[in-house]
Amino acid sequence: MKRREFITLLGGAAVAWPLAARAQAKLPTIGFLIAGTPASHGAWFAALVQRLRELGWIEGRTIAFEYRWAGARNDHYTDIAAELVKLKVNVIVTHGVALPAAKQATSAIPIVFPISGDPVRLGFVTNLARPGGNVTGLSLQQTDTGGKRLELLREVVPTFRRLAIMVNVGFPDGVLEVEEVQAAARTLGLEVATLELRRAGDIEPALESVKGRSDALYVVSDPLVNTNRVRINTLAVAARLPTMHGFREFVEAGGLMSYAANFPDLFRRAADYVDKILRGAKPGEIPVEQATKFDLVINLTTAKALGLTIPESFLARADEVIE
């Protein structure tokens, strides 16, 4: 099934399935608390649903889903988490900035996260080998890749000395990532400006503030910037700023490059966690695994717009080249 068809499928399910799930009250139910929209996160959750089908969990026959799309609004997460708890779902699948709300809402219902930065440091699990409690999933270890991203950026923009980092300061994973990137930048002798976002309205003035004062832009991914990725990339190109991202979707939307964990792979692996829990495993006894597949993606159209020549050796190493 194509990515766009996946998104269409999930978008329709968000409307249709709350009623259908109630009609199938005897079926085990998964509650999806999604910090995004069908357009921004639909393909990833569709990968999870597809894997569940392969494991025998067929929507409407052996399982029911409750989809809740929260967009990028932090004030929605607590209410949605409470709603899913009230519905007595069997498992909650959530991620990123929405995960704390789910953890606070219940200590009894198992929670699976397909992606998280550092779940131990963020307090979601006790340790990776034996999480304890009702939460488990997959760790991006996003902070471990910050230095690698800067090294890749310097290969494409070898003369850059001034780095701007854009981050939503309300996103705990992002704050940890910025610390790692700042440390890596100091090692490389880069001058750093940190652009702090709290709302979509902060994006344009933040980029305007570094126009002509920075040589490259590192964008820390979260639901806020993901929802506004086209706008961010349009403004970055206008400001002549090459960009590095944590999602390939940003590169599809006009960003220069990304080096990131393969998100569909992580969401498929999260389905195996859900399967184990539905078959009786305790989440606190299922080890947290780390991302193992990382992809380098570059957009040649954006490179040309920025006047950059990408070395052939670099293109040969890329997992995907967008033209």
Q: Are 46 and 10 in contact (CB under 8 A)?
A: yes
User: Can you tell me the distance from the alpha carbon of 110 to that of 89, in angstroms, rounded to the nearest whole number?
Assistant: 9
Both structure tokens of 121: 């440091």
According to CATH, what is the number of the domain 3-141+262-293?
3.40.50.2300
CA nearest to 227, candidates 191, 209, 201 = 201
Per cent of the chain over pLDDT 90 is 72
Q: Would 3-141+262-293 and 143-261+295-322 be classified into the same CATH topology?
A: yes
**pLDDT, tens digit, 9 for 90 and up, residues 147-198:** 999 999 999 998 899 999 999 998 888 888 899 999 999 999 999 999 999 9
pTM: 0.78
User: Can you tell me the distance from the alpha carbon of 211 to that of 213, in angstroms, rounded to the nearest whole number?
Assistant: 5
**pLDDT, tens digit, 9 for 90 and up, residues 14-35:** 444 444 444 445 799 999 999 8
Domain boundaries, the chain: 3-141+262-293, 143-261+295-322
Both structure tokens of 300: 């040649």
Q: Are 114 and 93 in contact (CB under 8 A)?
A: yes
Q: Is 101 helix (H, G, I), strand (E, B) or coil?
A: helix
Fold of 143-261+295-322: Rossmann fold (3.40.50)
